[in-house]
Amino acid sequence: MIKKMFVATLVTFSVSLGFSQTKEELEAQKAEKQAVVDAAQAEVNALQAQIDALPGWRIGAFGTIGGSLSNFSKWYAQGAPNNSSGNIGITANVYANLIQEKFFWRNGLSANLNWVKLDNKDTDLDDDDFNPTTDVFTLSSLYGRNITEKLAASALLEYRTTLLNNFNDPGYLDLGVGFTWTPVKDLIVVVHPLNYNFVFADNDAVFDSSLGAKIVADYTRQIGAINFKTNLSMFQSYKSSDLSNWTWTNSFGYTLWKKIGVGFDFGLRSNKQEALNYALSQFDPSGGGDEPTFGNVDNDLQSFYTIGLSYKF
């Protein structure tokens, strides 16, 4: 009996020892293979950097899609037991840049659109359609002739408006000339001291075009599975600070599987003309109080954000 136990123990020890040695051998082989893969990836990255540095077009796009749908039937615990609701949001960032040795031409389009629906099935007085809420659209085109490696004389066209509601009311068209600085590869800083801000709107008493300075800073980059873009667009009117405005938008996307991932977008804006126009639309003379003017209107900070699934085009 003791002899059998000794033999069994010896066999178990031998098997364990053999398994341990096999595992160590496999880990050593894995380390060798990983070193080869890392070296090959470094070569691929170096070749991609050379390709990116070549003259020609750089075209890309990424976006965010967020949405939810719900339907309730006889859910008596809430105020509207029979209702359907939904929320759909789409964000798109598209660019097409031509980079040459002596000049560049950078074009970009950004859009953030959102629809919301709430239908109370027990009444015909509400709206059962998807109605637009977030509505942002920007189109830009920047042309530059290189003076040095990082400085260029440039001309900019930038158009901003809404698409779903009040198209081109207001709409902003900036046309200007000045300089563009590219301190690093993915950062573009535009400084145009001579810029005219055309404003299109039905309410001419509030919205006014003027001459001023335009400053734009844009940083767009992809790092592995991460795409992000931040853009600051500012206009400083020489006529009046009431006509100045700025908008800062940010987009972030992380690819989880193939081209699908998660995305987050948010933006901030300050525009006193828009604040006054909205205040006038809500003003009721019969209710008393002073009529809103540039002097007494609250220019609150505007903001939006969207979170949802993202798709890398």
CB 62 within 8 A of CB 21: no
Q: Is residue 112 classed exposed, middle or buried when 0-12, 13-18 and 19+ CB atoms within 10 A define those classes? A: buried
CB 247 within 8 A of CB 269: yes
Counts for the chain of helices (H) and strands (E), in that order = 2, 12
Residues 6+ apart with CB under 8 A from 141: 105, 106, 107, 108, 156, 157, 158
What b-and-e string marks burial along 212-226, b requiring 16 or more CB atoms within 10 Å of the CB? bbbbbbbebeeeeee
pLDDT at 257 over 80: yes
Residue 280 tokens, joined? 């006038």
Query: Would the pTM count as exceeding 0.75?
Result: yes
State how far the Cα of 293 lies from the Cα of 206, in Å rounded to an integer. 9
State how far the Cα of 166 lies from the Cα of 172, in Å rounded to an integer. 13
CB 152 within 8 A of CB 112: no
CA atoms within 13 A on the CB side of 220: 20
State how far the Cα of 81 lies from the Cα of 228, in Å rounded to an integer. 42
Q: Does residue 80 sit in helix, strand or coil?
A: coil
pLDDT at 137 over 90: yes
pLDDT tens readout for residues 286-309: 877 889 999 999 999 999 888 887
pLDDT tens readout for residues 59-99: 988 887 877 788 889 888 888 889 888 888 888 889 999 99
Cis, bond preceding 170 (omega within 30 deg of 0): yes
Residues 6+ apart with CB under 8 A from 237: 197, 210, 211, 212, 243, 244
33: amino acid identity, one letter: K
**Per-residue model confidence (pLDDT) at position 222:** 83
CB atoms within 10 A of CB 7: 10
Residue 68 tokens, joined? 């939810």
**Per-residue model confidence (pLDDT) at position 55:** 80
Q: What is the pLDDT of the chain when averaged over all its residues?
A: 87
**Per-residue model confidence (pLDDT) at position 206:** 92
Q: What is the average per-residue pLDDT within 188-194?
A: 97
- pLDDT class of 312 with cuts at 50, 70, 90: low
Query: What fold is seen in the domain 56-311?
Result: Outer membrane phospholipase (ompla); Chain C (2.40.230)
Residue with the two structure tokens 């077009």:
57
Cα-based torsion angle of the residue sequence 306, 309, 312, 313 in order, rounded to the nearest 10 degrees? -80
**Per-residue model confidence (pLDDT) at position 112:** 87
Q: What is the average per-residue pLDDT within 143-151?
A: 96
84: amino acid identity, one letter: S
